[in-house]
Amino acid sequence: MTAQELRDSYINFFKQHGHSEIVSASLIPENDPTVLFTTAGMHPLVPYLLGETHPAGRRLVDCQKCLRTGDIDEVGDANHLTFFQMLGNWSLGDYFKRESITMSHAYLTEALGIPQDRISVTVFAGDESAPRDEESADIWKSLGYPAERIHYYGKNENWWGPAGVTGPCGPDTEIFYDTGKPACGEHCDPSCGCGKHVEIWNNVFMQYFKDAEGSFTPLKQKNVDTGLGLERVLCIMNGQPSVYGTEQFAPIIAAIERLTGTKYEAQTQRAYRVAADHLRSSVFILGDDKAVSPSNVDQGYILRRLIRRAYRYLSQMHAPAGAMAQIAEVIIAHYGADYPELERNRAFVLAQLRHEEEAFGKALEQGLRMANKYIDRAQSGRLAAEEAFRLYDTYGFPLELTVELANERGFSVDAEGFEKLFAAHQEKSRAGAAQKFKGGLADHSDATAKLHTATHLLNAALRKVLGDGVFQRGSNITPERLRFDFSFDRKMTPEEIAEVQRLVNVSIAAAAAIHCDEMTVEEAKESGAIGVFTDKYGERVKVYTMGGFSKEICGGPHAANTAELGSFKIQKEEASSAGVRRIKAVITG
């Protein structure tokens, strides 16, 4: 079975059960200050889980691009990945436990033909915030699952979300596939982590909101949020022991073999896997329509870590100059049909990889010498935080690289101390990436909704003053301020800044009511709306109109009237990355 066949079978199954297909959202979250990347299919759907209406309806299905770097150190084993594709289906206040579990069961056993006796499930054991989920257990039983394959666990195992500090969450029921490996002992079960049972699907019953005080209150509606790991299921369907053995990776592995003249075998396996995974992730980040460039902050820093780590493993295998870009070509060719943005952004992806290779290539050799010197003289088998930080600061060594070098020689690194120095350093420029990556979803308060409205007005004003060549490249909103990135290749003059600010304030003073209309992408285009147009024909979107000033495709939520914004002030205009400027602004409303 190919990835394409698996994706099609999933999407079609849920379409037959009344779901509308939506396209994968960007890997870079919109308007969300607290997560750097989309880590699950539910992220772009948070407003709808909280009660906004979705233009495609109350039953949705998709295949979402996701990136998680929490387990980056595990990459290299059989199944850990940073970038992955999550198949998901949602009920936005529509069906609940019975339909969700019944559909999952039918999809796995009937559509995919997985023998039912290879499947175990887990359900929430109950605590002070929610009752024991006997309802889900009973549904599983009614479908023929014996009690010994239904396991009850607590919050650690059977509760999902919020993705950050606050947001929608709820108990879940997880579905595990028995790989057929021998049990690790008498108590071998889905929670033991020995690898016999692999988690393939998570059905979350999102019915609570966790607030900043840690209390759980019922949401307006009961939702279902599920996620099925495409790469993992592909592995199972093809009887592969590792995701790297599937067609998702075969061409990448072959390209590394060709370029390095080495073989993918036990000895080189880890290096191959890290390089293949990290480059695949990097291509998807760089190839996103909201592409970021390697840098020392936020998404750019994660990207830089991925690229540099891949580069280091490739250079250990004596890959020639330009190897990363050549492997990227293979990745784009393999994934481009399903993700046309990769083709669209091909030139950018290749140029950025070449540039980063050049920048880091020079520093690597010198840095390696320095690292070895530090390790030689390290006391007590541990490299000091200051030295790890110097390697980062002077030679661009990501922490993982220093840790690996030290570990290879039987040393450890004061990683905690490094994180502190790193955070202090980041604080000087911006809040720390590592911290933020652990953070939560944006709140959806009135303050952020108003700032979100302000970004639409700002976007329109920028295009008026600087021309139609200006496009939004990113947006990040906290309750205190907005930050807006846009394509423009020089510093704005003070007059231009003043004029943009004035235009936004004129739109606010006009006290225009804000309307939201649902239409197809084609209709939105015709109506003159701006925004990211998806590639899917006929997809329904929301278009927000703010008086005669702004018409933009967007998920919301927004203020009801521009007057709510009070007044608008630009605090800063600065460079963000090559060809991209950044504005920080506040409102008083």
Please pick, from the candidates 42, 61, 114, 310, the single residue that binds ligand SER as defined by CB under 6 A: 42
Number of residues forming the site for ligand SER (CB under 6 A): 10
Helices and strands (DSSP H and E) totals, the chain: 19, 18
How far apart are the C-alpha atoms of 342 and 386, rounded to whole Å? 39
Shortest Cβ 214–ligand SER spacing (Å) = 20
CA 104, distance to chain mean position in Å, is 24
Q: Are 160 and 210 in contact (CB under 8 A)?
A: no
Burial class (CB in 10 A: 0-12, 13-18, 19+), 546: buried
Encoded tokens for 288: 């996103």
Q: Using the rule CB under 6 A, is 87 a contact of ligand SER?
A: no
341 burial via Cβ count (<10 Å: 0-12, 13-18, 19+): buried
| Choices 37-45, 248-256, 426-434, 529-537 (CB under 6 A): range interacting with ligand SER | 37-45
Residue (119 or 204) nearer to ligand SER, CB: 204
| Piece in contact with ligand SER (CB under 6 A), picked from 225-233, 272-280, 446-454, 501-509 | 225-233
Q: How far is the CB of 227 from ligand SER (least distance, A)?
A: 2
Residue among 84 and 301 whose Cβ is closer to ligand SER: 84
Give the Cα separation of 410 and 389 in Å (integer). Answer: 19
93 or 322: whose CB is closer to ligand SER?
93
When binding is defined by CB under 6 A, the residue of 204, 401, 465, 587 that contacts ligand SER is 204
Nearest distance from residue 44's CB to ligand SER, in Å?
12
Residue 172 CB, shortest distance to ligand SER, in Å, is 7
Distance CA 385, CA 394 (A): 14
Full DSSP string of 189-200: -TTS-SSSEEEE
Residue choice 29, 41, 300, 440 for contact with ligand SER (CB under 6 A): 41
Q: Is 225 in the site for ligand SER (CB under 6 A)?
A: yes
Nearest to ligand SER of 371, 441 (CB atom): 441
Nearest residue to ligand SER by CB is 227
* Nearest residue to 80 via CA among 271, 244, 236, 268: 244
Question: Which residues pair with residue 21 across a beta bridge?
Answer: 61
User: Does an H or E element contain 552, and which?
Assistant: strand 550-553
Q: How far is the CB of 466 from ligand SER (least distance, A)?
A: 39
Q: Which amino acid is at 89?
A: N
- 287 phi and psi, to 5 degrees? -90, 0
Q: Is 450 exposed, middle or buried (0-12, 13-18, 19+ CB in 10 A)?
A: buried
List Cβ<8 Å contacts ≥24 apart for 551-557: 551/527, 552/456, 552/459, 552/460, 553/521, 553/524, 553/529, 554/456, 555/30, 555/44, 555/47, 555/48, 555/52, 556/47, 556/52, 556/449, 556/452, 556/516, 557/47, 557/52, 557/444, 557/449, 557/452
Member of 37, 107, 124, 160 binding ligand SER (CB under 6 A): 160
Residues 6+ apart with CB under 8 A from 35: 29, 43, 163, 164, 436, 437, 439, 440, 441
Half-sphere exposure of 356 (CA within 13 A, CB side): 32
Binding region for ligand SER (CB under 6 A) out of 39-47, 325-333, 386-394, 409-417: 39-47
Tell whether residue 167 is a contact of ligand SER (CB under 6 A): no
Q: Three-class SS of residue 172?
A: strand
Residue 108 or residue 466: which is nearer to ligand SER going by CB? 108
Q: Does 202 bind ligand SER (CB under 6 A)?
A: yes
Task: CB nearer to ligand SER: give 14 or 160.
Answer: 160
User: Cα-flanking dihedrals φ and ψ of residue 46, to 5°?
Assistant: -50, -45
Neighbours of 268 (CB within 10 A): 18
Closer CB to ligand SER, 40 or 530, in the complex: 40
40 binds ligand SER (CB under 6 A): yes
Only segment of 221-229, 258-266, 541-549, 572-580 that touches ligand SER (CB under 6 A): 221-229
For residue 200, state whether it binds ligand SER (rule: CB under 6 A): no
Nearer to ligand SER, 40 or 378 (CB): 40
Binding to ligand SER by residue 89, rule CB under 6 A? no
Minimum distance, C-beta of residue 192 to ligand SER, in the bound complex (Å): 19
User: Which residues inside 502-531 make contact with ligand SER, applying CB under 6 A?
Assistant: none
Among 166, 173, 226, 459, the residue binding ligand SER under the rule CB under 6 A is: 226
Please report whether residue 413 would count as binding ligand SER according to CB under 6 A.
no
Stretch that binds ligand SER, among 46-54, 125-133, 135-143, 223-231 (CB under 6 A): 223-231
* Cis bond upstream, residue 115 (ω within 30): no
Which residues have C-beta within 8 Å of that of residue 69, sequence separation ≥ 6?
37, 82, 302, 305, 306, 437
**CA–CA separation, 221 and 219 (whole Å):** 5
The smaller minimum CB distance to ligand SER, of residues 39 and 293, is found at: 39
Residue 146 CB, nearest approach to ligand SER (Å): 25
* Cβ–Cβ < 8 Å for 274, 310: yes
Select from 29, 33, 88, 396 the one that contacts ligand SER (CB under 6 A).
Answer: 88
What character string, x for contact with ligand SER (CB under 6 A) and - otherwise, covers 281-310?
Answer: ------------------------------
User: Which CB atom, from 164 or from 227, has the smaller least distance to ligand SER?
Assistant: 227
Q: Which two three-digit tokens encode residue 98? A: 């019975």
Biggest distance spanned by C-alpha atoms of the chain: 74
Q: Which of these segments, 8-16, 34-42, 55-63, 548-556, binds ligand SER (CB under 6 A)?
A: 34-42
Which position among 227, 396, 474, 547 is part of the footprint of ligand SER (CB under 6 A)?
227
What is the contact surface with ligand SER in residues (CB under 6 A)? Answer: 40-42, 88, 160, 202, 204, 225-227
